[in-house]
């Protein structure tokens, strides 16, 4: 039943619409968090919201692992060590060089804005590596969520379901004054993460998300992204 069908008045409808618009349009990825854990009762509400995400045939294929405390410290140490050793064990490929034309331009613009915000020069390869490695410190967030999934066929549809879950999780965080960042980079170490968390080999990892209270003043948070006009993406057929 829609809100209008439920007989809600225009003012309520307007408030709900504006609240959603604010949430959707203000969500952004944060790369710097305060060291304040998200209280359990709030996290439970976020998880309830995310659980409402749609999925192919309502299969709800998300297998969700929330990590905090000493376990997160342990995981961070393992990820940094694997990253330094170049021991990548992703479940799904990710080729940064596969992006072409406008997609490559957007990828490059995002990277440039981030490194500039971090005050890292283009030729400073060590600096760039250090900034990238912040992914494995969870950008200082005191908790992170890891999104695993079972394998069905080529996994594309299931990955779509996981994306639906991830975005619902992120929007719920935003609506509560929290924030998060999806991280494919965590998925580069899927096998190691499975080992540390004791997760079955049957579950494959798509991405993880660091989340918490944003540190608005962190340098990594001074590079907001823009979006192309909708006319660049949307075609109406009538
Ligand atoms: C599935 C997915 C994986 C991502 N992986 C990373 C990552 O590993 N590290 C990172 O810094 N940002 C990562 N991002 C964040 C994107 O760079 C960000 O969403 C994009 O630049 C748009 O900015 P916004 O989220 O602030 O709107 C990822 C985003 C998505 C959706």
Check if the beta carbon of residue 134 is closer than 8 Å to that of residue 11: no
What's the CATH code, domain 32-95+136-219? 3.40.109.10
Cα separation of 174 and 183, whole Å?
A: 17
Centre of ligand 1 from the C-alpha of residue 17, in Å: 26
Check if the beta carbon of residue 188 is closer than 8 Å to that of residue 88: yes
Strand 179-183 relative to strand 143-149, pairing: unpaired
For residue 4, the model assigns a pLDDT of: 61
Centre of ligand 1 from the C-alpha of residue 209, in Å: 10
Residue nearest to atom 5 of ligand 1 (CA): 183
Q: Which of 138, 140, 183 is the pocket-test mutation for ligand 1 (most atoms within 8 Å of CB)?
A: 183
Confidence of residue 188 (pLDDT cuts 50, 70, 90): very high
Q: Report whether pLDDT(5) > 70.
A: no
Percent of the chain exceeding pLDDT 90 equals 93
Mean pLDDT of the chain: 96
Residue ranges per structural domain of the chain: 32-95+136-219
Residue nearest to atom 6 of ligand 1 (CA): 183
Q: Report whether pLDDT(214) > 90.
A: yes
Please report the DSSP string for 41-63 in residue order: HHHHHHHHHHTT---GGG----E
Pick the closest to residue 211 from 46, 23, 19, 26 (CA basis): 46
Q: Report whether pLDDT(7) > 80.
A: no
Q: Decide: 137 in ligand 1 pocket, CB within 6 A.
A: no
Centre of ligand 1 from the C-alpha of residue 178, in Å: 16
SS in 3 state form for 152-177? CCCCHHHHHHHHHHHHHHHHHHHHCC
Alpha helices in the chain (DSSP H): 10-26, 40-50, 69-85, 101-117, 125-133, 156-175, 184-187, 190-197
Q: Report whether pLDDT(3) > 80.
A: no
Q: Decide: 135 in ligand 1 pocket, CB within 6 A.
A: yes
Check if the beta carbon of residue 150 is closer than 8 Å to that of residue 203: yes
Residue nearest to atom 10 of ligand 1 (CA): 183
Q: Give the predicted TM-score (pTM) of the model.
A: 0.95
Q: Decide: 178 in ligand 1 pocket, CB within 6 A.
A: no
């Amino acid at each position: 039943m829609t809100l209008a069908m439920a007989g809600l008045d225009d003012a309520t409808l307007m408030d709900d619409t504006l609240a959603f618009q604010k949430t959707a349009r203000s969500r952004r990825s944060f790369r710097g968090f305060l060291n304040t854990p998200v209280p359990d009762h709030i996290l439970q509400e976020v998880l309830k919201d995310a659980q409402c995400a749609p999925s192919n045939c309502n299969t709800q294929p998300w297998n969700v692992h929330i990590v905090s405390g000493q376990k997160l410290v342990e995981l961070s140490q393992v990820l940094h060590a694997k990253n330094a050793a170049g021991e990548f064990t992703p479940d799904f490929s990710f080729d940064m060089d596969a992006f072409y034309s406008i997609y490559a331009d957007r990828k490059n613009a995002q990277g440039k804005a981030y490194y500039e915000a971090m005050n890292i020069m283009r030729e400073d390869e060590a600096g760039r590596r250090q900034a990238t490695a912040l992914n494995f410190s969870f950008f200082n967030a005191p908790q992170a969520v890891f999104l695993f999934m079972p394998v069905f066929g080529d996994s594309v549809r299931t990955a779509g379901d996981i994306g639906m879950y991830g975005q619902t999780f992120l929007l719920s965080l935003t609506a509560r004054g929290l924030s998060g960042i999806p991280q494919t980079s965590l998925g580069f170490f899927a096998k190691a993460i499975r080992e540390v968390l004791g997760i079955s080999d049957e579950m494959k990892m798509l991405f993880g998300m660091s989340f918490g209270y944003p540190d608005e003043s962190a340098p990594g948070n001074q590079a907001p992204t823009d979006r192309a006009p909708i006319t660049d993406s949307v075609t109406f057929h009538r």
